[in-house]
Chains A and B, each alone.
Chain A
């Protein structure tokens, strides 16, 4: 069995079965980073291009290491050093990259929908590594992996609280879709200006007070305040935000005793999370980063190696069209 799709554009519409397949595959690849020779021959002769039109340290390094550990040839392009700096459009740059026949393009872009757009333009697998405020599916998958490693109960018995700038957070969206698909309870918390009512439609519970949001939670996921995406005034000052929404030890005490705390990074210490909590015993932030490599290896393997039936998975992850036939996404 292989994945139902040849792209990963988001977790919206991805089945619980596919998510579980990726988590299981990743779990068996975690040990690779402890080996003397950290390399597997599975993707020998395959090419993975990372096309990052927005800054990134963790995600880009993580994808690159993942591709290299599977023996793929990994090429990385940043917009500042590419021809886009000379005025070439995103589409033209992408077409040119695709003309060199990579097997997979990993794309990050400040515009929501960029990954889906790319999937319609080029003829190789596309992985969304973050598109604007839309989705960041691999971050959510590695969060799910980290949660699953620490929590033995069923997904439906888990309460996950996501706190912060929900409006601009692609991590929050992807996690919400993934967690709801698996059956977990998702609470979203933040100031009303950063917490749109519409999220109730996706099955989330909304809280405007962090204290009641973390009450009895199994998992707390803190989000970074995204200054770069904020066009308006969403809260008076950072200090005021921190006073109400910074996760400190006192607030953690209201969650379950075995609560774990996640943060996708980069951390703004003292703003959304206090240093004592970020570096404290409940924090699993470094496991998230370590799991990122295993998860992305699993994803590259499952997307690039054709399915056991010899046919590559087809159809794009469309919310409405889950089993689109053939090359429908290249239309």
Chain B
């Protein structure tokens, strides 16, 4: 059973609001950069950058990072087939970086992303934007910009579908099969 918590209009409005909040909090786009976390964070970062361009007239640069090799559960979950190249096409020094991801859950992905980011340089500040915050944090991490807070149980799954991956934009909550894990 799956429940839709955001439709395509909902996703668009959430990203537009996040764009406004980012601009307001950082007083424009000077020294600002967005970095998406592979896979879903990357198209979201691009969309937020486009929304910022519509508001401010210029878009912040967008980068991408893959955090596979920084995961703390690498030994437990094992090697994954697909990694994507990280690409930070700008100097991080003195930049305010907004990390972008689709779902904030335990916070472990963000922990890994912070480690990965700092290997590229020392940003002036790092902020976090997520489309969905579903709770259940295991680390002291919180998002600065949240599209929607969605209360979930641990066993549920949050599925994000994006136009860039050939579907219409939508966010679903699914019950795990047989209620196990």
* A residues with CB within 8 A of B: 1-2, 21, 24-25, 27-31, 35-37, 39-42, 70, 301-302, 305-310
Contact = CB atoms under 8 A, between A and B. Distances in A.
B109 interface: no
Contacts of B140: none
A305 B75 CA distance: 6
A31 B88 CA distance: 10
B24 interface: no
B6 to A, nearest CB: 29
B120 interface: yes
A301 B79 contact: yes
Interface of B: 66, 68-70, 74-87, 115, 118-121
A306 B121 contact: no
Contacts, number: 63
Nearest to A308: B78
A40 B79 contact: no
Contacts of B85: 27-31
B66 A28 contact: yes
Contacts of B83: 24-25, 28-29
B66 to A, nearest CB: 6
B80 A308 contact: yes
A308 B69 contact: no
20 contacts: A1-B80, A1-B81, A2-B78, A24-B81, A24-B82, A25-B83, A28-B85, A29-B85, A31-B85, A36-B120, A36-B121, A37-B118, A41-B70, A42-B74, A306-B79, A308-B77, A308-B78, A308-B79, A310-B77, A310-B78
Contacts of A29: 83, 85
B88 to A, nearest CB: 8
A40 B83 CA distance: 13
Nearest to B83: A28
A25 B69 CA distance: 11
A307 B78 contact: yes
B69 A41 contact: yes
A198 B178 CA distance: 58
A108 B24 CA distance: 60
B69 A42 contact: yes
B79 A302 contact: yes
A246 B83 CA distance: 41
